[in-house]
A and B are shown apart, each in its own frame.
Chain A
Amino acid sequence: DAMVIQNPRYQVTQFGKPVTLSCSQTLNHNVMYWYQQKSSQAPKLLFHYYDKDFNNEADTPDNFQSRRPNTSFCFLDIRSPGLGDAAMYLCATSSGTGKTINSPLHFGNGTRLTVT
């Protein structure tokens, strides 16, 4: 029944080794988000796609990139992971019209990234 599916649930990568996290959705939502959540901290928005339009947050490091090849899939690429990038990465979806997001965010269960 999962509507926002993130793979893998756990990912271990080495310092500096590129890693890709994936998210798929069955809700046909036009907005997809990537959040970073560190232990006991608030989820932090990295970027979101409104349809095909990519919206980067001003303080998102260049090390983080995203791709959305179609409505259902979105990827988070971390080009050179550092120890500080260890976190839970949450994908979320929503629907919007006219630049207003008018449905609740549906979150996946996250990918926990460990950097060794």
Chain B
Amino acid sequence: QKEVEQDPGPLSVPEGAIVSLNCTYSNSAFQYFMWYRQYSRKGPELLMYTYSSGNKEDGRFTAQVDKSSKYISLFIRDSQPSDSATYLCAMSSSGGYNKLIFGAGTRLAVHP
């Protein structure tokens, strides 16, 4: 069993839709949770970072962590074609950004 599981998609939505992206994990020691966005032929870029449980909002993006269910989510409101990318979740147990474990990514396509 992989430590971090992520549905590969692709997920196709119309412009303006609310998108929900999710990851599950098995290691209860994970405390630091991140979402990276990776455009085609580019490196990943950090979108959101949360520590422990709870929600964090940044513009159209909301990250949610449910440690009791070992489940994290990224919501994108009012999705735009420019949001079309692969979204990778990443997590760490050992503090800060040490030893990140990535999910395989969910490919999102937002069509006009």
Contact = CB atoms under 8 A, between A and B. Distances in A.
Nearest to B89: A42
A88 to B, nearest CB: 9
Interface stretch (A12-20, A70-78, A79-87, A92-100): A92-100
A59 B74 CA distance: 31
Find the residue from B8, B43, B97, B105 having the highest chain A CB count within 10 A.
B43
Find the residue from A4, A92, A101, A108 having the highest chain B CB count within 10 A.
A101
Nearest to B39: A109
Interface string B64-107: 00000000000000000000000010000001111111111100
A4 B42 CA distance: 12
B42 A109 contact: yes
Given A100-B95, A100-B96, A100-B98, A42 B88 contact: yes
A91 to B, nearest CB: 8
- Chain A interface: which size bin? 20 to 34
B42 A110 contact: yes
Q: Is the interface of A mostly helix, strand, loop or mixed?
A: loop
B39 to A, nearest CB: 9
A115 interface: no
Nearest to B3: A42
A42 B97 contact: no
Interface of B: 4, 8, 34, 41-46, 49, 88, 95-105
Interface of A: 4, 40-43, 45, 90, 92, 94, 96, 99-105, 107-110, 112
Given A42-B102, A102-B96, A105-B46, 16 more contacts: A4-B43, A42-B4, A42-B88, A42-B101, A43-B44, A43-B88, A45-B99, A94-B97, A100-B96, A101-B97, A102-B97, A105-B100, A107-B43, A109-B41, A109-B43, A110-B42
